[in-house]
Structure 1
């Protein structure tokens, strides 16, 4: 149960803000004309608290004369400030230092660059092995998928009129965030093919007598956030994630990485998760023992890559954040017709959409929330004998996911998830009076060795509340002492913890960054 051991009021002060969060039709405002696609290394992203009266005004007071606000996202509550290309790094650092001391400013960070996660392939295979290895071909005896399930590919542009993709792409195939227009088609099809390959891994049309088969006949949409060079900015990707969630995407595929932790991207994947999307992301390709961002955010399912012998790919990153693995070496899929329509590529970029396609196939059979789908894919994964850091719960298994009733649970895999799939939840209502205020709670575990816990905060729209969590300690969580946090620019916060440390009760802190009002705190624990 959720317990409140003490009033838990904070004893220190922080900046005050006041106002409201603005929302438009999509939440993404138009960029200033002339803003270039792709990486935006001269920009600083500034997060503004939802309690600010005017987002632009809160930032403009600290913008130097040689810089300007060039972009804004009202839903994620940030603006992009562009400096001249010749501006010294020190000038940007001084701006970050100065503006983060201002009222209403939640964070300031460089608009980092992310890249498509693929590697050059070996000579082409004459056959597909991925659908067989994850048993999609056997699952097709039950379902080929459902066009009512939507997979959003946030990537380079995709050739949505490809003969083996067109039937699964929606009539409105997506949006271009790199060039800021309504058409996500590749600008340079001979070099911009990654998004087309990823689309085919997930949902090249099954059983149409043409080319290859993806994992499911789910509907596809494409948010073009990476340009023809295969790279793109944090802001473009975050905007595309928000857009995909607003389109009702059941699954958002992120075959990209780089740039490290950023609050802007964290807020984007939190927004998507809170709005019902399952975000599936590539673990990374540098072979290291930690997972890249955005896969490392707790909201994302991190996917490692294995080969056709079910061994960890030499390039695949691994670590405790990995939740599933999938085929990612020499994967045959669609490519742009300018490149010959089909080709073989390797990378966690390929393993990720294989998983997304299986997730889509699963939703064709079972009515699941995003968190239930995440647990079900892990509960039904196949243990292929790798360590938990390499395979997570195991290799995604389409047949088991489609034929196992989620109410009955699954066998689980090699660690990092699994269990019977039973859940229990509790909630408590509270209120905070202002920026000086905070409440502490504890959660006593219901299950022995829980597989996952989700902590959700639903607070007032005109305030900015944050969430902090500690596990494995009796120390209260706080803004200065936490293991996990969700600090968006509004009061809708979610923390997801896989295989939490249950040696002590979980410590939870609800904190007012600015504003006041009522909130509901909900904890859901999965066995």
Structure 2
């Protein structure tokens, strides 16, 4: 829903943090053990580090990584030397140093079924859109009620004449988007399969879309406006109405509107809400509207997603990569020496990059001219992010990296502080690695992007809406209510068996719904 966009703006990893970049970084740090050797973790007794290093060297092995904060190290040794190490009195235990790979939010297209050169957001595969071609989608129309769409976008404009919209005296032209939300929704539904950016659920320029803009820059609208918008969707011939929006109070006018649209065969779909409580949001709460909850890439319930008896189905809604108005996304970049990292954007950072030697700036609680002309590496703690970055700037620093003092990445904001140097956040492990690279050339900054990751049931809703249209396009004689039932009955059951308050009937599944209707008929 629209309020979600404000939440998402605090942490928007951008397009550059894709699976390809992460995979390269991973490969550079996790090369396979040489033939006839094995890589293991050895935990040893306190004070025995030097002795263990000597033992490893004597076994013709090598230390690969000293584990920060533990009496343990990763080593590579001939397999025949393991028995001797196990019997060493200083050794607590030995275990395989097993691989850990990025759980990617996107994957590079292999060329099948999408053109190479673009990213496939995880939600596309999660809802089985890659298993059901949108060849027939031209017989369906989805109406998006939102903040409009940047229809000049490189990944959307090719939808061409299939997209129409409404001009509104209050919000302006449908083909502009002042708060980014509607463009993100549109990209999930119909991002074009063109070798650029991302793909949507219906990517091949066949689906018809109609845009009704109810949100301007201020990002809110009335229930009366929503009722008008929904009726405009019907007048435009929409089959599916997608609403990534809502509020906490009922409206008799709204309810009558959506009840009437249901009798006309239209399927209305709306976000369940992002307040992490049992409150029912509307229009999702009306029986004539399908309520959508959010899950993450691991199919786990999103902690912000509202949960109640009205939740009907779930869609991908955590860190969803999609389109935003051209140039308005943020792509954080960070590299030190030959290492490429995966930073988070520091909200409020200027859109620029800087390259200079990396210098330790402690916790950044005071000015220190020793970092003049350098990139400051700053540990989280004691003082706020804005003060840390400002102290770096006032010391003559040209860029700042704030790394976490607890597990996980930093998702920070500079608040109202304005700085002239770029800044990003990094995880605790990345910070520890960079501590070993002081003095090396570092590039840090924020680049403008045409894509962004958002969270919310707002992001789950277009997945469901797009799947509904995709499946329906194969069975155009079904009614909206029948498609709704088929989607529910074919959903991937998650959580408690059967319908539950967090997932509803489960995760929407395009191919499973198609198979079910083909086998059993509409509404089964």
TM, length-normalised to structure 2: 0.53
Q: What is the match of residue 201 of structure 1?
A: 188
CA shift digits 1:261-298 (9 cap, x unpaired): 01121122123222221000000000112331110000
Q: Does 1:135 align with 2:128?
A: yes
Distance between the aligned counterparts of 2:176 and 2:308, measured in 1?
34
Query: Which whole-Å deviations, capped at 9, do the CAs of 1:67-126 have from their partners, x for residues lacking one?
Result: xxxxxxxxxxxxxxxxxxxxxxxxxxxxxxxxxxxxxxxxxxxxxxx9444431452452
Residue 369 to residue 185, structure 1, CA distance change in 2 (3 Å): same
1:395 partnered with 2:507: yes
C-alpha RMSD of matched pairs (Å): 2.1
Counterpart contact for 1:197–1:333, Cα < 8 Å: yes
1:101 alignment counterpart: none
Deviation of the 1:180 alpha carbon? 6.4
Instruction: Give the Cα separation in 1 of the matches to 2:264 and 2:238.
Output: 9
Question: What is the CA–CA distance in structure 2 between the aligned matches of 1:115 and 1:331, rounded to whole Å?
Answer: 15
Contact 2:162 2:208 in 1 (8 A): no
After superposition, the Cα gap between the structure-2 partners of 1:178 and 1:402, relative to the gap in structure 1 and judged at 3 Å, is: farther
What's the CA shift string for 1:233-277, capped at 9, x where partnerless? 212211111000111101000100114101121122123222221
SS in 2 for 1:157: coil
Match of 1:321 among 268, 292, 310: 310
Verify the 8 A CA contact 2:171 2:214 in the aligned structure 1. Answer: no
Partner of 2:229: 240
Q: Distance in 2 between matches of 1:303 and 1:203?
A: 19
Q: Does the Cα contact within 8 Å between 2:150 and 2:177 map onto a contact in 1?
A: no
Counterpart Cα distance in 1 of 2:238 and 2:482:
16
TM-superposed deviation, 1:328? 0.1
Change (3 A) 1:173 1:328: same
Look up the match of 1:214.
Answer: 200
Q: Distance in 1 between matches of 2:218 and 2:158?
A: 27
Decide which of 159, 184, 195 is 2:174's aligned counterpart. 184
Q: In the alignment, which residue of structure 2 is the partner of 1:264?
A: 253
Assess, with a 3 A threshold, how the Cα gap between structure 1 residues 161 and 147 changes in structure 2: closer, same or farther: farther
> CA shift at 1:144, angstroms?
4.4
Q: TM-score, normalised by structure 1?
A: 0.52
Count of residues in correspondence between the two structures: 292
Unaligned runs of 5+ in 2: 19-105, 107-120, 329-448
**Aligned residues of 2:12 and 2:452 also touching (Cα < 8 A):** no
Alpha-carbon separation, structure 2, partners of 1:341 and 1:180 = 23
- 8 Å contact 2:319–2:455 — kept in the other structure? yes
| Structure 2 Cα separation of the partners of residues 400 and 215 of structure 1 | 15
In proportion to residue count, which structure has more strand?
A: 1
Post-superposition Cα deviations, 1:454-510, rounded to whole Å, max 9, x if no partner, equal: xxxxxxxxxxxxxxxxxxxxxxxxxxxxxxxxxxxxxxxxxxxxxxxxxxxxxxxxx
Q: Measured at CA, do residues 361 and 421 of structure 1 come closer, stay the same or move farther in structure 2, by a change above 3 Å?
A: closer
Task: Find the counterpart in structure 1 of residue 472 from structure 2.
Answer: 363
In 2, are the aligned partners of 1:169 and 1:221 still within 8 Å (CA)?
no
Secondary structure of the structure 2 residue equivalent to 1:321? coil
The match for 1:174 is 165
Partner of 1:508: none
Indicate the structure (1 or 2) with the bigger Cα radius of gyration: 2
Q: In the alignment, what sits opposite 1:338? A: 327
Higher helix share: 2
Can you list the C-alpha shifts for 1:419-474, whole angstroms capped at 9, x where unaligned? x955xxxxxxxxxxxxxxxxxxxxxxxxxxxxxxxxxxxxxxxxxxxxxxxxxxxx
C-alpha separation in 2, matches of 1:134 and 1:352: 12
